[in-house]
Amino acid sequence: MNTKIILALRILLGALLIIFGSNKFIGFLPDFEFANPEAGVLFGALANSYILKTVGLIEILVGLLLVSKKAVPFALVLMAPISVNIILFHATLDPANIGPGAFVFLANAFLIYKNWNAYKSMF
């Protein structure tokens, strides 16, 4: 695949992570409207604990690493469990809003695939 497309995908994913991670601290984006009340309850519980702030911090860190092209394989592995949880949350509790989560998950998985040589020693 064209390296320009991979570059654009890496920067776009990094920028999204910086924006959504920063939003967990500053709250500049409007709140999500969940179709399922259970999704709102779970998200509210996460927001009122340390968990969402930790996820936000990791998203910012990963986003900065992706945008600056520093330790990209490490950043992608760090983001993997978060992207899996994003897609599972939306698939089970909020399918109407799965689009951005699906993009994060698929972009992360694709970039891991494209950087697979960096992970061969782990397997």
Domains contained in the chain, number: 1
User: Cα(15)–Cα(48) distance, rounded to whole angstroms?
Assistant: 25
User: Cα(99)–Cα(16) distance, rounded to whole angstroms?
Assistant: 13
Count of beta carbons in the 10 Å neighbourhood of residue 48: 9
pLDDT digits (tens, 9 = 90+) for 25-52: 999 999 888 989 999 999 999 999 999 9
In the block, tokens 């690493």 appear at: 65
User: Would the pLDDT of 95 be above 70?
Assistant: yes
In the block, tokens 């519980």 appear at: 45
Q: What is the mean pLDDT of the chain?
A: 95
Q: Which DSSP letter does residue 120 get?
A: G
pLDDT at 32 (0 to 100): 82
User: Cα(83)–Cα(67) distance, rounded to whole angstroms?
Assistant: 17
Domain residue limits at 50: 3-122
pLDDT at 38 (0 to 100): 94
User: Would the pLDDT of 56 be above 70?
Assistant: yes
In the block, tokens 């924006």 appear at: 19
